[in-house]
Amino acid sequence: MHTLKIKNIETEIIHVNHRGNWLFVKLHAEDGTTGIGEASHGRDDERVKHLIDTLKPDIIGVNVFELEAFRRRFFRESEGHTYHTAFSGIEQAMWDLVGKALDVPSYQLLGSKCRNRIRLYANINRATLDRSPNGFARNAEQASAEGFTAIKCAPFDGVSVSDVSKGTLTSAIRLGIDRIRAIRAAIGSEIDLMVDCHSRFNSGLIIQTAKALDDLNLFWIEDPVPLTDLDAVAHVSQSTSMPIATGERLRTLTEFDQLLKRGRVDYILPDVKHVGGLLGLKKIAILAETTNVKVTPHNPSGPIATAASVQCMASVPNFGILEYAWGEVDWRSTLVDPPEQIIDGFIELSTRSGLGISLKSLKTKSS
């Protein structure tokens, strides 16, 4: 039996922009190697750091090869988002260490690869500070020019409860529709276009809105209604012409099982940073495979979570497409070695050991 024990654990917060930071985890093994993971977007970075520090005495001495035992001991479904994020960052780093110890990429340990590259979509939302239709269109056009063949926007951020309660297409909703139409006009009909609604609608109103978008051939509508009502999710899915994607807020197998059984959705969006790392993501993908649902991971993340998602999705037959945080910072490529290789909207699958990347010195970017 292989044994490689954890000797120490560190975290580092990298300031990104007004939408948050990236929090990286470094696991140091007894043989001197280091594994890396990402625990960003845990809602409270300092709390994530505190939870990792709290877990540290129990983690030191753990054999990184005992991944399932580690999950059974520490991943409790009853814990909240912040705890699951802390756990997930540690778990990713364990996979990185195991791959390095065996000198194989992580995908090899997850059932080997189904593909040599991973299709990405550019999420332009965080980089779009000019929220006019033209502002959305410019960034979509730029992402398309860079080779991305799929683009996601979140055009309904101005929609409020009062808009929804009126049961009609208010000015805020119509502005969102104008933004989507401007994007489609800018990128043409060949580029796939996703629309994220951030659960701001009820079923009746999103069905109305979807009808107004029917001619735009959307790739999917994401989070149309809150997941607190899975019957409403199923109703929307059955009443609109375009596919429905949801699930980024879910973290446990139980939650995804309920969604897959009752929600009747086409795509699910688990996030490697919150569902328990690579093993959690793989388990959810297997669940989805039984219902012919595609896995399209939520990933408005830094380069480590992206690398972890790529390694896992390489092994998943029912993978669809992976989110990429487009245009957030111009120094992203300086954080890791080698830099992400994105060609024609695909990220190339690394054959290096573990997650396939290493962190460079972060001190110049740290907040």
pLDDT tens digits for 253-276? 999 999 999 999 999 999 999 999
8 Å CB contact between 262 and 231 = yes
**In which band, very low, low, confident or very high, does the pLDDT at 1 lie, cut at 50, 70 and 90?**
confident
pLDDT at 364 over 90: no
pLDDT tens digits for 154-194? 999 999 988 888 889 999 999 999 999 999 999 999 999 99
* Mean of pLDDT over the chain: 96
> Rounded to an integer, what distance in angstroms lies between the CA atom of residue 123 and that of residue 254?
28
For residue 18, the model assigns a pLDDT of 78
8 Å CB contact between 299 and 92 = no
State phi, psi for 128 to the nearest 5 degrees: -95, 90
Q: In the chain, what percentage of residues exceed pLDDT 90?
A: 94
Is the preceding peptide bond at 57 cis, omega within 30 degrees of 0? no
Query: What is the mean predicted confidence (pLDDT) over 232-257?
Result: 97
pLDDT tens digits for 120-136? 999 999 999 999 999 99
8 Å CB contact between 322 and 347 = yes
Place of tokens 């009062």: 162
Partner residues linked to 27 by β-bridges: 9, 35
For residue 367, the model assigns a pLDDT of 37
**In which band, very low, low, confident or very high, does the pLDDT at 362 lie, cut at 50, 70 and 90?**
low
8 Å CB contact between 362 and 335 = yes
